[in-house]
Amino acid sequence: MLKGRESMVRLVGKRRRFLPNREILLSASDELELVSCPVCALKISAEHHAINSHLDTCLSESETRPGTKRKLSQRTLLDSNFFFLSKKSNEIHQSQLTNKYNDDCCGHTHTHTHTHTHTHIINHEFFSHENELHVGANISLLPDPHNVKDPNAIKVLSADSGSCKSKVLGFLPRELAQYLSPLMDKYCLSFEGYVTSVPKNPFDFVPIQIVCHKMILHGEKEFEDVEAFKCLWKYAIHVVESTKNCPPGITKYQQNFCLVIHEVLRSNPHLFTDEEKKFMESFTSLSNDSQRLFVRLYTRKGPWFRISTISYSEVLDPQEAVKGLSAMGYLCLFEDKDKLHDNDIKEILNLLTVSELHDILCKLKKNCNHGRRKSDLLESLLPSFVGGLCPHLTSLVLDKTGTCIRISSKAESLIWRAERLFFLNGEQNLSTFLLVDFGIVKYPTYDCIISEQIFPGQDDLLAYEEAIEVAQLMDEALDGNNIELVLRCIKIADSRISSSSMKTMESTTSELVATFYSSFSASWVYSKVVLLGVSFLERERRYNDAINLLKRLLNCFTCDGRRGYWTLRLSINLEHTGYPNESLTAAEDGLQDPWVRAGSRMALQRRILRLGKPPRRWKTPSFAASIKRKITEVHLQGRPLNCEMGMKNRFYGEDGEQCGVEQLALQYYAGEGGGWQGVHTESGIWLTIFGLLMWDIIFSNVPNVFRTRFQTAPLDMETDSFYLVRKSCIESHLQKIHDGMGEEILATSWESHVGTACRGVNWDRHSLTELRAAVTCIGGPCLASLCRHLAQDYRSWSSGMPDLLLWRFHGEYRGEAKLVEVKGPRDRLSEQQRAWLLLLMDCGFNTELCVFLPRGLKLSEARRFGPQKIRGGSLLPVRDGSANTVFHGRAKHIPIKETNEEVQVERQVVFESVDSSSKGTEAEDLKIEMVVRKTMTTDRFVLGGRPTPSEQAPPPPLAPRKRKRPHNTSEPTNCQEYAPSKTSPAPIIEPLVIREPA
């Protein structure tokens, strides 16, 4: 996948069926009209949104205004609990609650009875309990803490049942149960009630009224418990009062859809025209069947639907629902062939079944033997329609499909805009409500403090929507391999960026710390399209075009975390085109940029060291020593089962099962590698630890960073403002971690928020025991340093961490940790991984690089990997280092000092072992040859298992080398001619029998 493709797919989200600006974008002239700004005289695009945005910026900067800003108020979705309340009713409700709590909770002991509350039953068993569900039927409530979907679930039981075991009628709504369940558990509240009415539709909610018969607060309870009780009861009453505004019989997805419309119109009225607001507000005036049908069709793929195939159990009369939606402009109803366009009939053809397509082909007297695949039949029909060869084709198709409907372009555009404003991303949609309702996802609790709008005006939003359309066209073109359309989208995005001045692109906020606003600008979306275009052009080897685009990005976006990657690609492409001096200059300029960080900075430094050799540069850079620091390596032997390019290597582990290279390394470190415990996690466990330790910091009350109920992190999480705005809180919290309170903070956070969604936290992959052990063995200073780097630049450091996190205890409360990056036979460190290893070394971590080498290494490969230890034909793990370094396992490292004179010692040992004692197995012929050349003062490595004192003597003279025989000869090998001289004892070599897995 091209670089930047995945990110752009997430930005676009679900592809829109109708793009309002598609024809304009594809038919627009290449040269954009430019006009001069009357304020600053800059050349800007003649488009309305560009002119308005630029004039707003210039006029706002030229005026002298006081430092204060008018703040906008917005009720948060957290408080609304998915229900909409008018401002007037909300104020009355809040005042009544305040008076009630002041009256009821003024003493230490209070008993309250007969508190009437109206709510309803959901997920009820209507047909199996018809006798219990009648008006006036008595009910009772029972908590269900063992419910797998929701531990706060509350059952609704039938109190009129004659059996000893009451029947379950259903459950209370999740929004109400989350507050009543702790009240019933901690404060011994009991509820009873009765059914107020029975719905006609079996899928509708059952209205009930419940009464609290026992509400006691004892004087022994602490003041904090009283406050907690008041807060829970307040929210419970708030939920009950909110449901009164919902029409009876409304389904959950229908209610969620109405919530999105109401919330968006209330919080962003300046982004819609009066006509658009009137159109969206008319949705609530539709019948329940019409609302449900529209929501159903909107969430389907479409775009065309056959009325004859529409059947939903909750939609009682689909025909009337379609008429109501068509009358209000939400659906386009086509039953006349004269009203269809060419593209419409092509899409309607997809609605036909294979048998219907066969019938049409037979009526047209065409060859029906086109196979049974639908695609083949469509290919045979489309030429007849496009060429006008069959004028009756449209009538034949409509006779088969009947009346067809689709969502109108106006309704789809406005609802798409409402969804984007509500969720602020392309990954979430109406299905997010279902995940919450079913208990699959639980979002954290935070306060939404809104003081600034993301989109100041409608022109900014329209420009952003147009940029999203260009991104979708780019994505569709890449899927269809439409190179012409890809180049067209790149040209459009490049022209939009070029025509925007620097002030316009950075006018979203007046402060540097609020850079997260830039991700909601049109220029930011166009930059992602251009970056994807750079990857496409590089794949096509059009490096000059890619260089021009990269220069444009660097010139237009001066404060962007992606500048490091852009600079690196610019330097690489300049070298591809034969300009090494310019490539070196670009890399050197990149190091002066404060936005070039982490792996990109490491890559540029290594490029400078490689390109900046004499005569280009005579002076060694100051960072050379830091970059060339040696990372401890461990070499292990393993033979991959597959050697295909692009496929992950598979090995046989010690247990005989197939595993990856990381699992094989874990087995080694758990055994002869030192008895380490650990996990293969890469960045997962570190982001989980960071999220749990910094939970209170992440979800603290910071203005404008939380805007919806469905966020797993603040909007500024991946920007510099995250650390700068919360610097004092972060540093005080990191000091606690440094002092050894990390394990306590992690355990408390786990118990309080387990199962709650948070960016980077994976509740299923790691247990609390593993996390506590890792935090304890890592230690406070190293852990605090790591968390500080993630807080300062989460975007740059959230990937590329080592594969393995290992730990082992020394006693009950002390231990040590090690981080290991594992590489297979053909792998090598990326620049981001190298940057992480060096950073961890600076933080005080014990790091290591574990490299798996294939069996049967050639001599050149052995020299390339340094001195290797060979034992009976198996390559044992070694470490390169000083004379005090020892090998893992049974191999020994014997240091022998040479003289200062230049000497070369060549030692050759050839050993042949044939194990024929085992019956039924093929004899193994293991031949090993190793040459160790040493110059000056060095260490000598000796073959063998347990060395004897005599082995430390100088090596014996080698016997004359005998010419090797061909492999196809059957003549036996004379081992005596290759053996060392008998004048000195030969090293002890223990042959190793290599058993191939069955």
What pLDDT score was predicted for residue 40? 58
Kindly report the number of other CB atoms within 10 A of residue 686's CB atom: 24
What pLDDT score was predicted for residue 973? 39
Distances (CA, A) of 351 to 38, 57, 200, 202, 404: 55, 50, 34, 31, 10
| Residue 7 phi, psi (nearest 5) | -65, -40
Distances (CA, A) of 937 to 639, 865, 891, 906, 933: 35, 20, 22, 15, 12
CB 184 within 8 A of CB 141: yes
Q: 814: pLDDT confidence band, cut at 50, 70 and 90?
A: confident
Q: What are the structure tokens assigned to 394, written together?
A: 């449209």
CATH architecture of 85-244: 2-Layer Sandwich (3.30)
SS3 988: coil
CA atoms within 13 A on the CB side of 398: 18
Considering only residues 994 and 248, tell me which one the structure prediction assigns the higher pLDDT.
248
Instruction: Report the mean per-residue pLDDT for the chain.
Output: 75
Q: pLDDT per residue over 310-325, tens digit each? A: 989 889 899 999 999 9
Residues 6+ apart with CB under 8 A from 222: none
What is the DSSP secondary-structure string of 96-123? HHHHHHHHHSSSS-EE---EEEEEEEBS
What pLDDT score was predicted for residue 335? 62
Q: In the 8-state DSSP scheme, what is residue 740?
A: I
Kindly report the number of other CB atoms within 10 A of residue 294's CB atom: 24
Least confident of 186-190, 317-321, 906-910, 959-963: 906-910
Residue 944 has pLDDT above 60, yes or no: no
Structural domain spans, the chain:
5-64+447-560, 85-244, 257-423, 633-853, 855-998
Nearest one of 169, 159, 167 to 137, comparing CA atoms:
159
Q: pLDDT per residue over 144-196, tens digit each? A: 888 877 788 888 888 765 555 677 888 888 778 888 888 888 888 888 888 88
Interatomic CA distance for residues 164 and 157, integer angstroms: 12
The amino acid at residue 273 is T
Q: What residue ranges in 357-504 does DSSP mark as E strands?
A: 404-407
Residue 643 has pLDDT above 60, yes or no: yes
Most confident of 454-468, 508-522, 890-904: 454-468
Average pLDDT of the segment spanning 231-237: 81
Residue 465 has pLDDT above 70, yes or no: yes
What pLDDT score was predicted for residue 860? 42
Nearest one of 153, 149, 144 to 176, comparing CA atoms:
153
CB 755 within 8 A of CB 692: no
DSSP H or E stretch at residue 808? strand 804-809
Least confident of 391-395, 802-806, 920-924: 920-924
Tell me the sheet residues that pair with 291: none
What pLDDT score was predicted for residue 350? 85
Q: 394: pLDDT confidence band, cut at 50, 70 and 90?
A: confident
What pLDDT score was predicted for residue 340? 61
Residues 6+ apart with CB under 8 A from 786: 686, 690, 840, 843
Q: What percent of the chain has pLDDT over 90?
A: 40
Q: 55: pLDDT confidence band, cut at 50, 70 and 90?
A: low
Residue 858 has pLDDT above 60, yes or no: no
HEC-encoded secondary structure of 602-647 = HHHHHHHHHHCCCCCCCCCCCCHHHHCCCCCEEEEECCCCCCCCCC
Scored b (16 or more CB within 10 A) or e, 600-628 reads: bbbbbbbbbbebbeeeeeeeeeeeeeeee
The torsion angle over the Cα atoms of residues 824, 826, 830 and 836, rounded to 10 degrees, is 20
Interatomic CA distance for residues 719 and 715, integer angstroms: 9
The amino acid at residue 378 is L
Average pLDDT of the segment spanning 521-528: 94
Q: What are the structure tokens assigned to 911, written together?
A: 């050993």
Q: pLDDT per residue over 650-691, tens digit each? A: 887 777 788 888 888 999 999 888 889 999 988 899 999 999
CB 167 within 8 A of CB 132: yes
Interatomic CA distance for residues 786 and 670, integer angstroms: 25
Tell me the sheet residues that pair with 635: 851
Residue position matching structure tokens 């706060």 = 152
Residues 6+ apart with CB under 8 A from 639: 651, 854, 855
The amino acid at residue 835 is A
Q: pLDDT per residue over 722-732, tens digit each? A: 999 999 999 99
**Residue 34: alpha-carbon gap to chain centroid:** 40
Q: What are the structure tokens assigned to 338, written together?
A: 């004269």
Q: What are the structure tokens assigned to 515, written together?
A: 């850079």
Q: pLDDT per residue over 586-608, tens digit each? A: 999 999 999 999 999 999 999 99
Start-end of H helices in 637-741? 661-670, 684-693, 695-698, 721-725, 727-736
What pLDDT score was predicted for residue 205? 72
Residue 552 has pLDDT above 70, yes or no: yes
What is the DSSP secondary-structure string of 347-399? HHHTTS-HHHHHHHHHHTT----S-S-HHHHHHHHHHHHHTTS-TTHHHHHHH
CB 548 within 8 A of CB 584: no
What pLDDT score was predicted for residue 915? 36
Residue 252 has pLDDT above 90, yes or no: no
Residue 84 has pLDDT above 50, yes or no: no
Residue 574 has pLDDT above 70, yes or no: yes
| Residue 815 phi, psi (nearest 5) | -170, -175
As to burial, measured by CB atoms within 10 angstroms (0-12 exposed, 13-18 middle, 19+ buried), residue 983 is: exposed
Q: 44: pLDDT confidence band, cut at 50, 70 and 90?
A: low
Q: pLDDT per residue over 680-723, tens digit each? A: 988 899 999 999 999 999 999 999 999 999 999 999 999 999 99
Kindly report the number of other CB atoms within 10 A of residue 400's CB atom: 18
CA atoms within 13 A on the CB side of 835: 20
